[in-house]
Chain A
Amino acid sequence: MSAMKPLRRTLVLAAGALAGSLLAPLRAFAAWNKEAFGSKTAAEALKGLGVSASSESKDIVIEAPQIAENGAVVPIEVSSNIANTKSISVVIEKNPFPLAAKFDFSDGALPYVKVNVKMGESSFVRVVAEAGGRFYTATKEVKVTIGGCGG
């Protein structure tokens, strides 16, 4: 047994070093917004994100299929042309948990994202952009042929 000890110590040290190197970038994470992501209605999700009032904006561009045959993979592409856009949130109004994603952009990232999402049924996809302490919103309807929440 005594012969194994140094080996075990080496392994523990190696594991510690590995965890440390992986943890370093993750300290930059903001905590996952449990309240907003756990909301079961779009209104509650928006409240959880701190969106009290928002105005409709044509400067938010949403690219999504009008008809998605497979709800398990629906490509959504969003960009904001509103100056100083700080964040973009994507809310799929009819999903069991409507808030799908929130992206925070710092200096160096454009307010643009493309992501594949699951949609349980046909729904409006609402995008909320935050700029200069105000919220702007736009929607696009996506009709889903086969729902993708079970996948």
Chain B
Amino acid sequence: MKIRATLKGDTVDVRVLMVHPMETGQRKDASGAVVPMHFIQEVVVRVNGKPVLEGQISQAVSRNPVFSFRLKGAKAGDKLEIAWLDSKGERSLSDAVIA
């Protein structure tokens, strides 16, 4: 994951890029075989260990998902963690410091 978290005034702009195929189950590969569904289902954002945002998403989110969020009350130096869990039970966790 690539996370950018920047404080502007009293709001933190968060942008995150997740590397994931987000397969819909409708796409066919070069040999004509259907590529099975495989997509991120859950996303959680935490600030200094406290969850502030939880997302549930579907296969309709584009490949290599990019999200923007906005946080209030966080400050420069706070620790931001973002985790995802996909339909195969695979998971990823990344953190960043708010700049």
> Do A28 and B51 touch across chains, with their CB atoms under 8 A apart?
yes
| Residue B1 is within 8 A (CB to CB) of chain A in the complex | no
CA distance A110 to B47 in the complex (A): 13
Interface size class of B (residues with CB under 8 A): 35 or more
Q: How far is the CB of A23 from chain B (nearest CB, A)?
A: 8
Among the stretches A1-9, A54-62, A111-119, the one at the interface with B is A111-119
B residues in contact with A118, CB < 8 Å: 24, 59-62
CA distance A107 to B47 in the complex (A): 11
Given contacts A29-B85, A101-B61, A149-B24, contact A108 B74 (CB under 8 A): yes
Given contacts A26-B91, A105-B52, contact A113 B61 (CB under 8 A): no
CA distance A29 to B73 in the complex (A): 22
Cross-interface CB contact of B11 among A21, A110, A113, cutoff 8 Å? A110
A residues in contact with B73, CB < 8 Å: 107-108
B residues in contact with A96, CB < 8 Å: 26
> Do B65 and A30 touch across chains, with their CB atoms under 8 A apart?
no
Cross-interface CB contact of B61 among A29, A104, A115, cutoff 8 Å? A115
Question: Which single residue of chain B is at the shortest CB-CB distance from A117?
Answer: B60
> Do B60 and A100 touch across chains, with their CB atoms under 8 A apart?
yes
CA distance A104 to B57 in the complex (A): 11
Interface size class of A (residues with CB under 8 A): 35 or more
Given contacts A108-B47, A108-B73, A109-B45, contact A33 B65 (CB under 8 A): no
Q: Which residues of A are at the interface with B, using a C-beta cutoff of 8 A?
A: 21-23, 25-26, 28-30, 32-33, 37, 72-74, 77, 92, 95-97, 99-110, 112-119, 148-151
* CB-defined A-B contacts under 8 Å, sample of 16: A26-B83, A28-B46, A96-B26, A97-B59, A100-B60, A101-B55, A103-B54, A106-B50, A106-B52, A108-B47, A109-B53, A110-B71, A112-B69, A112-B70, A117-B60, A117-B62
Task: Please list the 4 inter-chain residue pairs (A to B) with the smallest Cβ-Cβ separation, ordered nearest first.
Answer: A114-B68, A108-B52, A116-B62, A100-B60
Q: Which residues of B are at the interface with A, using a C-beta cutoff of 8 A?
A: 11, 24, 26-28, 41-42, 44-47, 50-63, 65-74, 81, 83, 85, 91, 93
